[in-house]
Amino acid sequence: MNNKNFYRNISICFAGMLTSAMLFGQDQNKPNIIVVMLDDVSPDVYSCYGEPGAANTPVIDQLANEGVMFETCYASSLCAPSRTLLMTGRYGTTTGVLHNNMWLGNTRGDVYKDNHAFGKLLKDAGYATAIAGKWHAGARMPYESEVGFDEYCLWEGGAEFAKAAGSENYECAWKGDGKSSRYWHPAIVKNHEYFETKPDDFGPDIFCDFILDFMERKVQEDQPFLAYWPFVAPHGCREGISTTPHRGPVGVMTKSETAEESRARWIALNEYIDHLMGRVVDKVEELGIKENTYLIFLSDNGTAVTAKSRGVERGVHVMNICWGGPVKQRGATAELTDFSDIAPTLCDIAGIEMPEGSFDGVSLKSFLNGTTDKHRDWIYAYIGTTRLLRTKDYMIEAINPMLGYPEGRFYLADEDRFGHTYKKINGVPEYDQERSELDVILNSLPDVVSDNPWWNTGKGMKVWEGYSEENAVNKHLFNHKDYKYYEE
């Protein structure tokens, strides 16, 4: 075992002992925590971010106005690396989770052996824990001891159905690509049992009901809770919800939809998400727990087609809105954060003291509570073998020596967050000092990528063949045609 893994494992063992010891005489007044994460949607789709053509989302606007809305939060630009980063508080360049198809070494199975899962940390600290919606963050399931969720209600496919009680006669809708439906007549496993659904059952409603029921039960039991709701929506809306038309809160879908109809469906589904968030806020108020509850509202990566999987800022720029009684009202803030900050924030809220080096991120609690007005000077993102770095004034995207772009693209961004006024400054002498300072930060970050033996395996070579193909590179390292204005 190398020194890095030795100290990492010692850290994990120590944290387990520490949090288990806290159970004796635990404080029942610990804050409740609700973490909501949307699937495949950029911040500009939501009205609080102020971009034209956004959905009308008054509830989420309310959360942003009454709490803290980070104008700039970075994640990864695909679900698996973003969700694993969120769960562990460690960058993929530390863990080896880089892409939906790039799990270096044995990472897919071992990531929660080698890194902390916030579900387990909070469970060990006396929290009731539940997850609903979409997992897709490694081979270990949320209910396994390494991950730590007491209860679950998840959209699933064949492998999990095969293990679920009562699944031998299951029925649900199936999409044309052979994947189970997440929307109408959804395929759901709840607490190890097949959850029977009907054609007019809508997946996001079921997951919302599960989360609200969990919250209510735990308040009645006087137990602090962590409710994690990684949405199945609005992913895939424009490509169709199934191979046949369905009716419901997002209207009617047919294969012959025009671009305008598809856009209307997309906006409608995001507005329905706002309705579901209204149910959550109403439940918090009804239960009388707002003053002791944090709600963190996120998205996992940028919108499909125009942003998802790209090594540009639009791909990794995600929502982050924090609301609740302990959160100081700030509204929109230019302070920077990325997904590595979430796990340490949850631990800090829960009163869990972690050994130094447990996370790559920094707790947001002091900023959220108003103890400090500053958070961090830079944020970092990655997707595949591509890296990005951002300060308030400067941004580098598309850094990828393995694909022939060792310098990436360097911009003067000031406090713009959607690229409208960025100025490209690669090779401009007056900015050489600033670029050198950013390179020092990049060089200080862990890198398990370029020389990893995984690339010489059969899986690695197959992934590289498609990843390095010319058209794939051009899509990955550049913006969609509708967002190229700052690349010119």
| Mean pLDDT computed over 431-449 | 94
Distance between CA atoms of 262 and 237, rounded to whole angstroms?
Answer: 8
Return left, alpha or beta for 401; rule: phi > 0 is left, psi -120 to 50 is alpha, else beta.
alpha
Confidence band of 242 (pLDDT split at 50, 70, 90):
very low
Note the pTM of the prediction, 2 decimals: 0.91
pLDDT digits (tens, 9 = 90+) for 179-191: 788 998 899 999 9
Convert the pLDDT of each residue in 387-397 to its tens digit: 999 999 999 99
Say if CB 186 and CB 197 are below 8 A apart. Answer: yes
Do residues 450 and 464 lie in contact, with contact meaning Cβ atoms separated by under 8 Å? Answer: no
- Could you please state the CATH topology (level 3) that the domain comprising 28-374 is classified under: Alkaline Phosphatase, subunit A (3.40.720)
* Domain assignments of the chain as residue spans, ordered by start: 28-374, 382-483
Contact at 8 Å (CB) between 148 and 123? yes
- Tell me the mean pLDDT in the region 133-156: 96
Q: What is the pLDDT of residue 264?
A: 85
Q: Within a 13 Å sphere around the CA of 447, how many CA atoms are in the beta-carbon half?
A: 13
Q: What are phi and psi of 386, to 5 degrees?
A: -100, 140
**Of the given ranges (81-85, 89-93, 161-165), which has the lowest mean pLDDT?**
161-165
Out of 3-12, 86-95, 120-129, 161-170, least confident range = 3-12
pLDDT of 1 above 90: no
